[in-house]
Amino acid sequence: MIHILQGIDIVAVSKMKRILIARPEFASEIFSNSERQYCFSRPDPYVHLAGRFAAKEACLKALGTGLSGSGIDGALAQIEVTPEKSGRPALSLSGWAEKIGRRRKVYQYTVSISHSGDFAIASVILASKKPDKESGRESFHEIPSC
């Protein structure tokens, strides 16, 4: 059976900018080299950094831990948001975050990021497989299309 997990987060771009100007090392504690390269190559890097921060926190919420599990610098650094060839964002997990995903049997990570005014918002949807109650085996069931 398919189990859907969802998380959402919103970040004020101006707050992200203030934090990064006051503490530039925060960027390397939270964002991977490729995330920083991508964001700082854009005309307004803080919009993209805020979106990625929101995506990381939304992913932790979807995993059911939020930031309380391993702390802000540990967990957020283990979630990477990279652009696919089409420009669509994709999630990649490592370390503790990846382990939680495996425990929850997540097989698909989907992220959407949007920006408007001073806010960046991200939604993460995870699909996991749950054991079939009758047989005890993992199985997939089709979700009816609308």
User: Which CATH number does the domain housing residue 52 bear?
Assistant: 3.90.470.20
* pLDDT tier for residue 65 given thresholds of 50, 70 and 90: confident
Q: Which two tokens stand for residue 78?
A: 């283990």
pLDDT at 140: 43
Structure tokens at 68: 């309380």
142 found inside a domain: no
Tell me if 108 is assigned to some domain: yes
8 assigned to some structural domain: yes
pLDDT computed for residue 141 by the predictor: 41
Phi and psi at 119, nearest 5°, equal: -125, 145
pLDDT of residue 74: 78
pTM reported for the whole predicted model: 0.85
| Residue 78, phi then psi, degrees to nearest 5 | -90, 0
Which pLDDT score, from 0 to 100, does residue 142 have? 44
In the block, which residue shows the tokens 């090392």? 25
| pLDDT tens figures, 96-114 | 899 999 999 999 999 999 9
pLDDT value at position 133? 59
- Is 144 a domain residue? no
47 pLDDT tier (thresholds 50, 70, 90) = very high
Is 138 inside a domain boundary?
Answer: no
Residues 6+ apart with CB under 8 A from 90: 81, 82, 83, 84, 109, 111
Q: Residue 90 pLDDT more than 70? A: yes
d(CA 14, CA 17) in angstroms, rounded, equals 5
Structural domain contains residue 59 = yes
Number of separate domains in the chain? 1
Going by pLDDT thresholds of 50, 70 and 90, the confidence category of residue 94 is very high
**Which pLDDT does position 71 carry in this prediction?**
55
Give 141 or 57, the one with higher predicted confidence. 57
Enclosing domain of residue 97: 2-129
